[in-house]
Structure 1
Amino acid sequence: MSAPTRADRLPSAAAATAYQRRWFADLQRDHIPGAPLALVNADAPQEIFRAMGIPYVVNQWWASIVATKRRTQDHLARLRERGYPDYTEQYSSTALGSAFDPDPASAPWGGLPMPSVVLAETTGDASRKIFDVWGDQPGVTFYPLESAAADTVPERWWELMPHHWESAVGTDRLDLMVGELEGLIRFLEQTTGLRFSEQRFAEVLALTNEQEEWNRRTRDLIAAARPCPVAVTDSIPAVMIPQWHRGTVWARDAAKQLHDEVAERVTGGTAVCSGERARLMWVGRGLWFDLDFYRRFQDRYGAVFVWSMYLAIAADGYIRYGDDPLRTLAARFAAFSDQLYTPPWSAEWYVEEARSHGVHGVVHLVSDDARGSWATTRALRAAGIPVLELHADNVDARRSAPDYLDGAVGGWLEAEVLPRADG
């Protein structure tokens, strides 16, 4: 077999980033203060806003931009100055700091326009309080969604969700979310004057399913490929920027472009690291303030991060088919946090993904607000997979100097992972 060729940056990743810049510039240019604009959490049902033509910005996406530009501390300082904590749920609270920016035009990408509505699931006391503060701002309304739990947990939920989501999620949870979504639609119609179209909504859901089917195929290609054909620093923007535009033709086509590029690299034997020695899994949110982190270990050790939750949850967490569009959307989000953070939902899924991708070790980013992290680590170790827990925040670098991160991961690789992988 010939030696693998070294991968350049994915064109789909560069194209997605360029598209997002143009979209955000157009949003700033066209937005009239007080006009409908939503700030929504990443795990919120954005498809309703899409169907109604209401522009929205994803809260955590904005936090990632601020962190990448090394401006998180500025935003957290504004919270601290007003007596709010700057040390909890920073990923969710960073955008709130934008509301108090005296010079928004100097902020990253020209600043975050003031939303008229914020939408979030009330997961935890701190999260609820963040959005209560948003709701206290002039002209801003906070629309909360409940965070329900279930007494029973389905086995291998990722196999049930596309078609058998009623039994997987549970009728009571779905009834609750359907009622909340109906209330959200009425609220948006009354406050914006726009009308909710069932036909347009069905089109949005169909396009989203097509998009995520392409992501599922891409995930499966990467899982089977040896060596790894794409860097997670490319797959994350190539997946997640289209995710924030779910329900559009552009997003569907962007997911197909990513798939086709990955398929071409697999066929051609392209490798992120020609000297790949170990395959790593990154469990947790993206380390936005230090994206070079992932590449440093492949350059020094031949240890390649082949998995992140972003492509994997796109593959397993969104696809829903059904005859009742609103209930189908409820099935997408009623248990969304469970899939990523609540054991045994999350723990069993991470083990399945680790095995399917053939990883030799897992780096687990554990933030202070993490839910169920202990169960994920325990399940992976019980499956015989080495796990390194990094206790750090993904946007707040105050306790995460590069030397500390590099030393912790490098020492773990040398002591636990590489000997097993080489053996």
Structure 2
Amino acid sequence: MVEKLLASAAEATRYQREWFHGLRESAAGGGPLALVNADAPQEIFRAMGIPYVVNQWWASVVAAKRRAPHHLELLRERGYPDHTEQYSSIPLASLFDPDPRDAPWGGLPRPTIVLGETVGDGTRKIFDVWGSQPGITYYALESAAENAVPVNWWDLMPHDWEKAVGTARLDLMVSELENLIRFLETTTGRVFSERALRRVLDLVNEQAEWNRRTRDLVARTTPTPLAVTDGIPSVMIPQWHRGTEWARDAARRFNEEVEARVRAGAAVCEDERARLMWIGRGLWYDMDFYRRFEQRHGAVFVWSMYLAVAADGYPRYGDDPLRALAARFAAFNDQLYTPPWSSEWYVKEARLHRVDGVVHLVSDDARGGYFTNRALRAAGIPVYELHADNVDTRSYRESAEPALEDWLEREVLR
């Protein structure tokens, strides 16, 4: 069990458990419940007061509780693939669990609406299965692309997002959001309020600014004051509640706690010998992984995408709330996975955090990984490719960690 050094991380986890208990009670009482992908416009649901749970967050909980093999077996028994897109498909298996009493946190309540974008054939088919179940409706969002790509999107996105994303993509996303609102009003009886959405977006921007301050503080501080195992819950649990005052205030408390550690000279590893960057999703079934490298080698993971994208990927300012929201998500996958959007951003972040090496978790469904690694190596930064899935323990070989340690000693610490 990973020890949390930050009170904000422990508090976020406690809050999430209480929130999930209330979510289960609401669903049991017959209220609407949405299951949404991590990169979908959750702010619409927030503004309309429709409870939702994030698909990939639930997969991370299942994996952390070592229940992923059971869920993948449930998929396999029904003829569904258990070897691809596991991060997105594990929550689907919750539908087929005949005895959910052993499920984490009491089990995933049955949603009435699922929302996901059509990125890749596998993701679309997973959500099609959701939509084929009685009482569940799948609302699909398109995934568009643009030929003109700004490599410095992180500078443009807060205010000049029309230029960064492209008018055609924004037009499409706005029309889809308008249709989503009509669909939700019809199916749930809830009423959309532009005023409520403006308030949600204001709170999200405030939260993003606090995350930006924290990211920049961690980047310039040596030795690092923040363990990645604290940073992920401290930033991501509030992300799933963004658009609320609690989430905004949680981001502020996180920033203040990191600042206090910096002022006190507190360090994750006093004998910090190397600063590492972790590219990819969290290794949810073994979060102790990161701390072992601190203890054995003085190698600290100072970066993960979670705090970094919370800083660069979310702030959007503008007078048109639907269009600003569209700008947040129309190119969200590009920011993380599509070169040169993603590759240039990873290089920028590696330099900002002054990393000595990069560990890149590469799963079978990785997108754009080759180009990311090529860009980092061209910038003179050593990269190690760790081939494993972040929720499927079958993909992780016992030889992986010794091989990574050997690379660390040869190419980084020497």
Classify the TM-score, shorter chain: over 0.9
Matching residue of 1:286: 282
Matching residue of 1:354: 350
Tell me if the contact between 2:4 and 2:230 (Cα under 8 Å) persists in the aligned partners. Answer: no
Matching residue of 2:408: 413
- Provide the rounded CA distance (Å) in 1 between the counterparts of 2:204 and 2:318: 13
SS at match of 1:389: strand
Tell me if the contact between 2:154 and 2:312 (Cα under 8 Å) persists in the aligned partners. Answer: yes
- Provide the rounded CA distance (Å) in 1 between the counterparts of 2:100 and 2:119: 29
Matching residue of 2:171: 175
Q: Find the partner of 1:186 among 169, 172, 182.
A: 182
Q: Does residue 154 of structure 1 match 2:150?
A: yes
Q: Find the partner of 1:371 among 360, 367, 372.
A: 367
- Provide the rounded CA distance (Å) in 1 between the counterparts of 2:27 and 2:150: 44
Tell me if the contact between 2:48 and 2:193 (Cα under 8 Å) persists in the aligned partners. Answer: yes
Q: Find the partner of 2:386 among 362, 384, 390.
A: 390
Tell me if the contact between 2:27 and 2:110 (Cα under 8 Å) persists in the aligned partners. Answer: no
Matching residue of 1:305: 301
Q: Find the partner of 1:126 among 119, 122, 129.
A: 122
SS at match of 2:28: coil
Aligned-pair CA distance for 1:399: 2.0
- Provide the rounded CA distance (Å) in 2 between the counterparts of 1:411 and 1:355: 24
- Provide the rounded CA distance (Å) in 2 between the counterparts of 1:34 and 1:178: 30
Matching residue of 1:218: 214
Q: Which amino acid aligns with 1:60?
A: Q
Aligned-pair CA distance for 1:404: 2.3
SS at match of 1:305: strand
> Residue deviations 1:240-296, cap 9 Å, x none?
000000000000000000000111111111100000000000000000010000000
Tell me if the contact between 1:89 and 1:369 (Cα under 8 Å) persists in the aligned partners. Answer: yes
- For structure 1, the 5+ residue unaligned runs are 1-6
Which runs of structure 2 are paired with 1:129-278 in the superposition (5 Å)?
129-278=125-274
Q: Does residue 335 of structure 1 match 2:331?
A: yes
SS at match of 1:270: coil
- Provide the rounded CA distance (Å) in 2 between the counterparts of 1:262 and 1:100: 42
Matching residue of 1:3: none
SS at match of 1:343: coil
> Residue deviations 1:9-30, cap 9 Å, x none?
1000000000000000111123
SS at match of 1:307: strand
TM superposition score normalised by structure 1: 0.96
Aligned-pair CA distance for 1:118: 0.4
Aligned-pair CA distance for 1:33: 6.1
> Residue deviations 1:43-68, cap 9 Å, x none?
00000000000000000000000000
CA RMSD of aligned residues (A): 1.0
- For structure 2, the 5+ residue unaligned runs are none
Matched residues, percent identical?
A: 71
> Residue deviations 1:357-410, cap 9 Å, x none?
000000000111111000000000000000000111000010204x32321210
Tell me if the contact between 1:33 and 1:114 (Cα under 8 Å) persists in the aligned partners. Answer: no
- Provide the rounded CA distance (Å) in 1 between the counterparts of 2:193 and 2:299: 49
Tell me if the contact between 1:278 and 1:303 (Cα under 8 Å) persists in the aligned partners. Answer: yes
Tell me if the contact between 1:366 and 1:389 (Cα under 8 Å) persists in the aligned partners. Answer: yes
Residues 298, 325 of structure 1: CA spacing in aligned structure 2 closer, same or farther, 3 A cutoff? same
Tell me if the contact between 1:99 and 1:114 (Cα under 8 Å) persists in the aligned partners. Answer: yes
Aligned-pair CA distance for 1:104: 2.1
- Provide the rounded CA distance (Å) in 2 between the counterparts of 1:153 and 1:71: 40
Tell me if the contact between 1:40 and 1:119 (Cα under 8 Å) persists in the aligned partners. Answer: yes
Tell me if the contact between 1:34 and 1:139 (Cα under 8 Å) persists in the aligned partners. Answer: no
TM superposition score normalised by structure 2: 0.98
Tell me if the contact between 1:342 and 1:372 (Cα under 8 Å) persists in the aligned partners. Answer: yes
